[in-house]
Structure 1
Amino acid sequence: MNKAIVCVDDENIILDSLGEQIENIFGDEFIYEYAENAEDGMDLLEELTEEGIKVMVIVSDWLMPGKKGDEFLIEVHKKFPSIIKVMLTGQADNKAIENARQNAELYAYITKPWTQEQLEKIIRKGISEINEI
């Protein structure tokens, strides 16, 4: 089965940087997909699942137009509970992070600016925990 990592952020520069770093870390181990908002992100998750691709990790921004990242990740969790959910944020408050922890099983949150090492450590650890199940 093919496996994917999905990133959702409304800022193209962040999405490009995030994607480049993740692809550099994992090479051709995964399929990489990107969305600029929560609605497109959910559509992408549904399409990948229909194609038989297992989404391992989703990295989502918090502050996006239309729907905040905690609300989006709660939706993701309801439909796809096994996906590792990571919030990337420069602005989320503790209430939003706690909401995602309690209602979306948020695996981790990373503050902007982040380092490639942080990203790698969190994603690798999350994937290894999935693989142990």
Structure 2
Amino acid sequence: MPGMDGTKFLKQVHERWPGTIRILLTGYASQEALEAAISEAKVYCCLAKPWVDEELIKVIGEAFSSLSMS
């Protein structure tokens, strides 16, 4: 994504479509970057690359479940 990082992108997604669930998949991130993603972009969850498929599937399922509870 030339010109922006994942947090900036997800922040724009949140601003345009606040009802979306945002999950950050990152290969590298400092604690500060993760905190910014969670607070600024309202990221539901951050997962490290390479991710474990079962973990990603679980997080997506939990995210959808949280929508139905809202």
TM-score with structure 2 setting the length: 0.90
Q: Are positions 1:69 and 2:12 aligned together?
A: no
Structure holding more strand per residue: 1
In 1, distance between residues paired with 2:22 and 2:68?
Answer: 15
Q: CA RMSD in A?
A: 1.1
Shift of 1:83: 0.7
TM-score with structure 1 setting the length: 0.50
**When the two structures are aligned, how many residues end up with a matched partner?**
70
SS of equivalent to 2:51: coil
Sequence identity (%): 37
Structure 2 residues without counterparts, runs of 5 or longer: none
- Give the aligned partner of residue 106 of structure 1: 43
Q: Rg: which structure is higher?
A: 1
Bigger relative contact order (CA 8 A; separation at least 6): 2
Give the residue type in structure 2 aligned to 1:76: V
Shift of 1:103: 1.2
Choose which of 45, 53, 60 in structure 2 pairs with 1:123: 60
Shift of 1:90: 1.0
Shift of 1:85: 0.5
Structure 1 residues without counterparts, runs of 5 or longer: 1-36, 38-64
In 1, distance between residues paired with 2:37 and 2:57?
Answer: 21
Shift of 1:122: 0.4
User: Which segments of structure 1 move beyond 3 Å, counting only runs of 4 or more?
Assistant: none
